[in-house]
Structure 1
Amino acid sequence: MASRSCGQPLDRSVPVTLNFHPDRMAGGRPILVGLAQDGVYRSQFVTGTGNGGLTAHPGGDRWRWESRIFGGAYDSVPGEQRPVYGALNFRRQETGAAPRFGSAHFRLTAQALERATFCYPDSATEPADFGVADRMSLIELAESDSRDALDDYIEAQVHGPVLLDRHLEALVLDPSFRGTAVEEAARRLPCRTEWHSGFRLTLAELRRHADYRGQEFVDLGAEISRDGMLDPRIIGDAARTGRYATQSLKRVWHCLARFGAPPRSRLCDEM
């Protein structure tokens, strides 16, 4: 990957973030409970869950993308040895670099940069532009592009284990989870808990963007909303009822993440 990269060294204060939904289940356990018990952040090849396409299996799209990017290096290894995916938060967004994949994020230590590779755009697009910490031209490429806000991130692949007690600076949560089991579980993790300003979307605003993901998802958002509002906790509660298709709720989340995000700002303060 280094030989396919160019540019100047990356500012080591720019973090990699791993966005995810903190109130979902993974392996039959609440995701934060499982993380606390296992002590390691695992890839979709291990968990079988994710907030993008669920194609992490031999011959699947994720397997094929990794085979292409990494020259087959991971083709025959166990899932535990495969990279985990995040994004480079060069814009210092308080909600993480890729909120498309969830309202919460882990912010990794600078150590992660030394064993991360990067591409732009997402690996699903079969990109031709790559980077490593010592050769990073992708920021200029991303800044000159005009992609939708949910797709405008530099993907990061972190190689080697991501250990919660060594490689995390913080877990950053949406304020809709204050006082919930999510916050309680977060306090058991070996990293500090922080809060960003929050995703919130009124139904009136949602209806103004029916062309973004489609009218059916506006209607679904209206059905699960509370007091004319959507937030991450509301969508998570709907997911746990089992009444709604996961892929449909994902598109409602895209609308909330795209049009209900807080203003872009620097990383939030510890609370």
Structure 2
Amino acid sequence: MSEREERSSFQSLAIRHVEACARSRADDARREIGDVLRMSNLPWEAYEDALSSIRANARVALHFHPDRPAADGRSVAESLLEDGMYRSQFDTGISNGSVSAYPGGARDLWERKLFGGAYHREGAANAERPKYGALDLLSHPDGPAPRFGSCYLLLAPGVSRRCTFTYLDSHQDPDEKGTLDEFDDVMAALLRDAFLEEGALGERPLTPRRLLNRLKNGLGKPRPDPSSRSARRNLNAYIEAQVHGAVSLSDDADVLVADPSFRGTDAGRTLERLASLHSLDLRWHRGFELRADRVPADFRGPGMPSLAGRIARNGRVDAAAIGAAAFDLKRNPEAWSDRGSYAEVLQELKYLWHVLVRYGQPVPVHRLRSLTNSGDVI
């Protein structure tokens, strides 16, 4: 067996395990879907049409912060440019969620359970671990899960075929999981939220009728210009995707959506070269910025205002300002010791990004245009 075939066997085992779990719950899931459809006066065909559209068109978004330092000292954007691959947290040592991608860490333990130990078998390497993203069903300009990064890559629809999915974050050990072939369990949870809460995936109002119509008619259309639309600020309600197998930027990705705070910076120029080299359609969303004196003390902790004041540029915090602080923390941790250990300060910076997503304002259009040489925002 070749190395490539051996690696594929671990990935196949993981996918089959999740698929079997979803299949065991499919009858109950379809009964719940049927109940929601009846209460919403919708025919079963409306569900089947939406599911067919997901299977044919749905993309996975991989969120990232381009200017975060990797273990080897390069930034994430530099690593992507030079390697041409999107790597797992076990490879990079970087996480925008749980910093526990090591043997015996929390992520390692929940991956063992989620994938039935597929990646813990003898011969499985860290490079084989899945890459984490979110299923992009509603084309929000800031992506389906902005808490995990200010920029994101959109993968080709075919990549979704080798993904597994959980409804909400896998660290919560959700019952609802599946693959595109066994997706009823995830859809039952999605429709349940749309019915009971009149909202789902960070969007409100969103009834079952509106949701199914969006899925049927929206997924196959060209993606709307992200710079012309309002962010959805979805911090918690996403369908997590676990991408099994290598993710090549040239072969598997086709769109790169970036935060405008990086225009004219080293990270932004690297993203532009990255898009050119790998033939990615580079687009810019509206971004987030927040005056430091308006950072609340009751969302992600009382230390947020003082941290914002420390890293603000021209009195404002944006994605690039947080990234610059994270890089400085990596280079000079002793300079930040007044705020705690390296891990504690890094966690604070992650929380400040959540604050920015929740409360930040979009960059004004006139400033967006001034960031482009042509005066035309893609």
Alignment partner, residue 151 of structure 1: 236
Is the CA contact 1:142–1:154 (under 8 Å) kept in the aligned structure 2?
no
Q: Could you say which residue in structure 2 is the equivalent of 1:266? A: none
Q: Corresponding residue for 1:3?
A: 20
Q: How far apart are residue 239 of structure 1 and its match?
A: 1.7
Name which of structure 1's ranges 153-162 and 47-56 shifts more when overlaid on structure 2.
Answer: 47-56
Q: C-alpha separation between the residues in 2 aligned to 1:141 and 1:135?
A: 17
Residue 165 (structure 1) aligned to one of 250, 265, 273: 250
Question: How many residue pairs end up in the alignment?
Answer: 264
In structure 2, the residue matched to 1:64 is: 109
**Larger % of helix: which?**
2
Rate the CA distance shift 1:53–1:261 in 2: closer, same or farther, 3 A: farther
Q: 1:234 to 1:43 in 2, by over 3 A?
A: same
Q: Distance in 1 between matches of 2:358 and 2:316?
A: 15
Question: Structure 1 CA distance, aligned partners of 2:107 and 2:237?
Answer: 19
**Whole-angstrom distance in 1 between the partners of 2:290 and 2:133:** 25
Distance 2:284 2:80 in 1: 19
Establish whether residue 140 from structure 1 lines up as the match of residue 229 from structure 2. Answer: no
Cα deviation per residue 1:137-183 (whole Å; 9 max; x = unaligned)?
14325545689841111110011111110110111110111111112
How many percent identity over aligned positions?
A: 41
Q: 2:59 aligns with which of 11, 15, 18?
A: 15
The answer to whether residue 94 in structure 2 is matched with residue 49 in structure 1 is yes
In structure 1, the partner of 2:290 is 201
- Match of 2:273, SS? coil
| C-alpha separation in 2, matches of 1:142 and 1:122 | 15
Check conservation: 1:119, 1:129, Cα contact below 8 A.
Answer: yes
Structure 2 residue 156 is matched with structure 1 residue 105: no
- Rounded to whole Å, the distance in 2 between the matches of 1:141 and 1:154 is 14
Please state how far the C-alpha of 1:30 moved relative to its aligned partner: 1.6
Contact 1:90 1:139 in 2 (8 A): no
Against the structure 1 CA distance between its residues 158 and 142, is the aligned structure 2 distance closer, same or farther, given a 3 Å change threshold? farther
Q: Tell me the SS of whatever aligns to 1:25.
A: coil
| 1:176 aligned onto 2:227 | no
Q: Which residue in 1 is equivalent to 2:161?
A: 114
Larger radius of gyration: 2
Unaligned runs of 5+ in 2: 1-17, 31-47, 203-233, 330-334, 337-344, 364-375
Of 319, 343, 347, the residue aligned with 1:247 is 347
> Normalized against structure 2, the TM-score is what?
0.65
Aligned residues of 1:120 and 1:142 also touching (Cα < 8 A): no
Instruction: State the distance in 1 between where 2:361 and 2:163 align.
Output: 27
2: CA distance, partners of 1:158 / 1:262: 31
Tell me the SS of whatever aligns to 1:23: coil
Structure 1: which 5+ residue stretches go unaligned? 264-268
Q: Give secondary structure in 2 for the equivalent of 1:62.
A: helix
Report the 3-state secondary structure (helix = DSSP H, G, I; strand = E; otherwise coil) of the residue aligned with 1:29: coil
After TM superposition, give the deviation of residue 55 of structure 1 in Å: 0.9
Query: Is 1:92 the equivalent of 2:135?
Result: no
